[in-house]
Structure 1
Amino acid sequence: MKQWLALGASLILAGSLAGCGGDSNDNTASDTGVATPDSIRLNFLGRYQTGEFDESAAEIPAYDAASQRAFVVNAEKGELDVLDMSDPAHPSFVQALSVADIAAGAEVNSVAVRGGLVAIAVEADPKTDPGYVAIYRADTLARLGYVQVGAQPDMVAFTADGKTVLSANEGEPSDDYQIDPEGSVSIIDISDTGNIVVTTADFHAFDSQADTLRSQGVRIYGPGASVSEDLEPEYIAVDDAGTTAWVTLQENNALAKVDIASATVTDIVALGSKDLAQADNAMDVSDKDDVINITTWAGVKSLYQPDAIHSFSANGSTYLVMANEGDARAWGEDDDAYWGTEGVGCAGDSSKGFVEEFRVKHLVHKDGFDRRCGDDLPPQLRDLAAGALLDPATFGYCGASAGDPGNCREDEELGRLNITWTLGYRTDSNGDPVLFDASGNESATGDRLMYDTLYAYGGRSFSIRDADGNLVFDSGHAIESYLASDSCMLGSGRDIPCKDYFNSGHDEGDAFDSRSDAKGPEPEGLTVGKIGDKTFLFLGLERMGGVLVYDITDPVAPQQVDYLNTRDNWSTEDPSTILSSVGDLGPEGLVFVPASESANGKNLLIVGFEVSGTTAVYEVEPLFD
């Protein structure tokens, strides 16, 4: 579907701005006319504090060089905070941009900057309604106009020439899963700003290919959803030429490739899974064993499920770097009607939501599912069977036998791991579950699922793929292993051992190992910058916190060069009570600013921290041997 929408005569101004101003997080920012460093180091410069804890008051940042301003999504207010960056060590608040007059209840979701223009993704209320993309001037903050796009625009990006804005319209379902908008990618041509053209790249051509996509590994599993409804575009990368975009479909564990000129989704690529039986993919899967235990687990795989993605060039080819965060669908989890009532049978109402996450220990208990009624038993799982078993041929190493999970469900083994119940059980040629009796015998009258494989969420890694989505590198267990090593230090002074707070979260002070059962350190946000002839990756860890830095000049052999975590208080105190001094918690979005575009002539990294509500500024210092 193509819509022709005019933003009005005032947007004619925008065309004259396209050649000036600065970059944002949409294309690889670079300073290629400077000396190539041997390495780089992050140094803390300063921060802006909103004073809000765990309210997503600082999420996605973008930067404009001409106005020396940062634009930061403040989801707590539903607005865009504008910060003065003329003194990078002391960012200061200028004003907030509200989108409430675009539509009642509308909120800012994301932001991008290019050529003096600011593009804002605007979510409608309810989120299942079509959203908007609004365009502003970076210098005067005047809104030049806005256009309607698909439901829940979650990320916006410019092409390198500044003539096109792309919006990933996620189209999440309503909380009860009764309304599920189609996912889409809007392509907004602003080359003639007096006559803006919005074209929609949809997934309709793939609606008839659901079975084929599933067989390839694309997760299409929302209750009653078509392919178009089930696919949820998350994050966009655009090539240097502005001809091709790649869009992560996080919950679907897939990647969409888009031809920008024709606004066509040309391919959907399944991203596969990591086999935790392989030494390179070892993980710590328990938060209750009180030790760091990064080891292999036969029969367990993890889905990559990347969030942020960025393109970069190397050796004349385009590559994609992805942060493999992981994400489960969990809708209606706060509605008691969805779970049912304990003691009166499994009467959960499947029309009230859809939750796919379940702990291994609850999935494979030999007494079946009904012991979890009224607690955390998804009614859709109960509709499939009355219980589940582990294949003893695979899980015998942790004590599984016919009809009995043995020690596999213990907290110190696999019991605490959060997995999806929607994958891994044995099926027939039609895709229906093969049922077993409680003793582990296949039976036409059986009521137990048989799990040959357990699937966890997220790779706890970053990956590099080629332009067709083929994997060329994955960091495997390197992130968790580094956080557990003697080399890793926390705090602005780099003087706190990481291993003392391994896989910790942000809602507690001393929370050692609290995230190992979930998604570990959760790599989520990233950006890429060039200094001289080298390309560097800046990778934010949502849970453990901090920013990892890698030299990815050679895409098949990245090298870690730094890690900085500016959370300074790791005591047992509730972080919300010491917010002014705790530092920075929960990096969400990052943007690299080349020295040629920063106010102090230094390479900068600007990071939005959603938990601490802070926007931190780091100097990216070149190092020479």
Structure 2
Amino acid sequence: MKLWLALGAGTLAAAMLAGCGGDSDNDPVPSTDTPAVSGVKLNFMGRYSTGQFDESAAEIPAYDAGTRRLFVVNAQKGALDVLGMNDPANPALVDTLTTSDIAANTEVNSVAVRDGLVAVAVQAPVKTDAGYMALYDAETLELISFVEVGALPDMVAFTADGQYVLTANEGEPSDDYSVDPEGSVSVVDISDPRNPVVATADFTALNGQEDELRDQGVRIYGPGASAAQDLEPEYIALDADGTTAWVVLQENNALAKVDIASATVTEPLLPLGTKDISQDGNAIDASDDDGVINIRTFDGVVGLYLPDAIHAYSAGGDTYLVTANEGDARAWGEDNDAYWGTEGAGCAGDASQGFVEEFRVKHLVHADGFDRRCGDDLPPQLRALGAGGLLNPTTFGYCGAVDGDPGDCREDDVLGRLNITWTEGYRTDSNGDPVMFTAAGVEDPAGDRIMYDTLYAYGGRSFAIWDAEGALVWDSGDAIEQFTASDECMAGAQRNIPCADYFNSGHDEGSAFDSRSDAKGPEPEGLTIGTLGGKTFLFLGLERMGGILVYDITDPTAPVMQDYLNSREDWVTEDTESVLASAGDLGPEGLVFIPASDSPNDKALLVVGYEVSGTTAVYEVEALRD
């Protein structure tokens, strides 16, 4: 009989805390005569392949120790692939769990497992409608119960005591931005798994405070959106005692703090700020079109952290938060011709048909203004601000900017190719309206140009550690790009392919050297944490370049890199789909750490879902000892 079924509600939480499963359980304390763990190394063991290329056929994995099963989100099916792990080197498909028993055409977005319970975040057929959190039996795959939660539940997690399941309800808008649901966090009490009780932590109390939030550094900028509509929960971190959750509001560049018992947002939002790209140690490669690796600093450019995955851990009695600083732009209506408009129609795109905030620097500050991009990639909301953009020559004089002329700053090998958001960085007055300039760079209320003092790029190209109040403790700076550009970095499961030959490559094409430098570089997205020998290790997935970075983060103020393994094998073939069987693993999305105490082979394991190659890879986490 299942533990959750056999025990009453009063003892369930304690039993779950003591039971197997999850990715945060510690290894047994080593005996005193065992050498201490000095580090870790990843070794590729094997993979399961769906045979589906670039269909998001393997995204988020979760593991149940009792059944030795992996549950992997397969977005191409809209379901969970259930993989047997008796032989970790050869995971095998044993079943598929669909959510058609909840409603037709629903889709699985995320999964978490704890002691035989499989919690699933389920998207409604229309993504702006309310979704569901469902519980299934890990062995029989029986639907135990489900409850309605917010729109687009995008991540699901158990609290440490097993009493609650939380979902991050992103509430993304429709593609034309005509419907924009409110973001929220659902807190589901599963003391009785057959009768879950849902409560909702929402952001409606912040409605009317949009200007104050912007002043604090929270990005509130969706067209016509209230604070509650604009805030989009992406990912959840939980403390060790199950009382507090920290929720990433990715597009808003902030965290929310949630009291779990009362299901309320209890603290002011925690804005994450920006990363100064002018500072040594924060350099980036900003161009995908110069044919070389050129990691350098740029005055006047900052990076928005915009993290995706987050995880909490304890060190020295305090809670710390680790984020993968991916970066993410709002891009709705990209394929809608009515949104972009046409040159013949006077560049009159329909702003009610979408919202795209991403724009290249070279197009933003061209001397001929915005209309040269009509019918191509000119957002009508940007065109409504002015006829063109200028660079502040005081800030950008280092690359030749003068009044009315960007100089060499817009060249492809400088800042021209860099993707930034046009929604901030331009000079405004006390009312928040743009200060206008003439095309010659003279401030004039009758002018039709806006002046950019700062350029805001996407993502930190890093991971960061924050304290419980959202204060930055440590950031990896430019270490990831510097490492993947170095001779030390080798890709392939056998570590025999120079990373520098494929620096900042994309994950869905071959021969793509430098192709992501203009965007978010290596694009850290997913992460998880594991403990071995009393030390805490971070496993960080690089979505575009690929591979898993491992850091010892036991001391949150001084993380130390341990290893990097990239099991992508084919980097040359243009049509990567045609060589999928030999390409290896492309596009890491979700990661789960399996401690040795729960592992089917008594070794600590890392499992990674790769959305582009549609593979689920298994790695041994080898403890190194002095």
* TM-score, L = length of structure 2: 0.97
1:83 matched residue in structure 2: 83
SS at match of 1:608: strand
* 1:49 counterpart residue number: 49
Partner of 1:263: 263
User: Is the Cα contact below 8 Å between 2:12 and 2:191 reproduced in 1?
Assistant: no
Runs of 5+ consecutive residues of structure 1 not aligned to the other structure: 1-9
Change (3 A) 1:607 1:181: same
Counterpart of 1:492? 493
Which amino acid is the alignment partner of residue 432 of structure 1? Answer: D
Partner residue, 2:282: 281
Any conservation in 2 of the 1:22–1:113 contact (CA below 8 Å)? no
**What is the 5 A alignment of 1:42-191?**
42-191=42-191
CA deviations 1:167-216 (Å, max 9, x no partner) are: 00000000000100000000000113353210000001111221111001
AA paired with 1:515? Answer: R
Contact 1:284–1:292, Cα closer than 8 Å, also in 2: yes
CA contact (8 A) 1:22 1:116 kept: no
Kindly indicate whether residue 421 of structure 2 is the aligned counterpart of residue 423 of structure 1: no
Deviation at 1:47, TM superposition (A): 0.2
Q: Distance in 1 between matches of 2:185 and 2:459?
A: 24
- Alpha-carbon distance in 2 for matches of 1:520, 1:297: 15
1:228-377 residue pairs with structure 2 within 5 A? 228-267=228-267, 268-377=269-378
SS, match of residue 525 in structure 1: strand
Structure 2 residue identity aligned to 1:534: K
Q: Does 1:30 align with 2:56?
A: no
Paired residue for 1:7?
none
Q: For residue 563 of structure 1, give the secondary structure of its aligned residue in structure 2.
A: strand
Does the CA contact (< 8 Å) of 1:389 and 1:449 recur in 2?
yes
Per-residue deviation, residues 475-527 of structure 1 (Å, max 9, x unmatched): 00000000001100000110111000000002221110000000000000000
Unaligned runs of 5+ in 2: none
SS in 2 for 1:279: coil
Aligned residue identity for 1:593: I
CA distance in 2, matches of 1:32, 1:253: 38
Measured in 1, the distance between the counterparts of 2:208 and 2:324 equals 30
| RMSD over aligned Cα atoms | 1.3
Measure, in 2, the Cα distance between the counterparts of 1:266 and 1:596.
Answer: 36
**What is the DSSP-based 3-state SS (H/G/I as helix, E as strand, rest coil) of the residue aligned with 1:31?**
coil
State the Cα distance separating 1:293 from its structure 2 match.
Answer: 0.7
Deviation at 1:619, TM superposition (A): 0.2
3-state SS of 2:562 partner? strand
Percent identity, aligned pairs only, is 71
CA distance in 1, matches of 2:8, 2:389: 60
Q: CA deviation at 1:32?
A: 4.1
State the alpha-carbon separation in 2 of the partners of residues 344 and 96 from structure 1: 51
CA distance 1:557–1:111, shift in 2 (3 Å): same
Amino acid corresponding to residue 447 of structure 2 in structure 1? G
Partner Cα separation in structure 2 for residue 526 and residue 32 of structure 1: 23
Describe the SS at the equivalent of 2:266: strand
Q: CA deviation at 1:321?
A: 0.3
Shift of 1:17: 7.1
Code of the residue aligned with 2:343 in structure 1: it is E
| 1:12–1:194 contact (8 Å) kept in structure 2 | no
Deviation at 1:615, TM superposition (A): 0.1
Worse-superposed segment, 336-345 or 495-504:
336-345
- Kept in 2, the 8 Å contact 1:74–1:81? The answer is yes
Secondary structure of 1:543's counterpart equals coil
Q: What is the distance in 2 between the residues matched to 1:360 and 1:12? A: 61
Q: Deviations over 1:18-55 (max 9, x none)?
A: 63653234xx2321423541011000000000000000
Q: Is the 8 A contact 2:253 2:307 kept in 1?
A: yes
Aligned mates of 1:13, 1:103 — CA distance in 2: 30
Helix, strand or coil for the counterpart of 2:483?
Answer: helix
Preserved CA contact (<8 Å) 2:47 2:90: yes
Q: Is the 8 A contact 2:146 2:196 kept in 1?
A: no
The answer to whether 1:479 aligns with 2:451 is no
| 1:566-588 CA distance string (max 9 Å, x none) | 00111234210000011000000
Which deviates the most, 257-266 or 340-349?
Answer: 340-349
Name the aligned partner's letter for residue 119 of structure 1: A
SS in structure 2 of the partner of residue 597 of structure 1: coil
User: 3-state SS of the aligned residue for 2:344?
Assistant: coil
- Give the AA of the match of 2:25: A
SS in 2 for 1:208: coil
Aligned length: 614
In structure 2, the residue matched to 1:567 is 568
Q: TM-score, normalised by structure 1?
A: 0.97
Q: Secondary structure at the match of 2:223?
A: coil
SS in 1 for 2:481: helix
1:537 counterpart letter in structure 2: L
* TM-aligned CA deviation for residue 139 of structure 1: 1.6
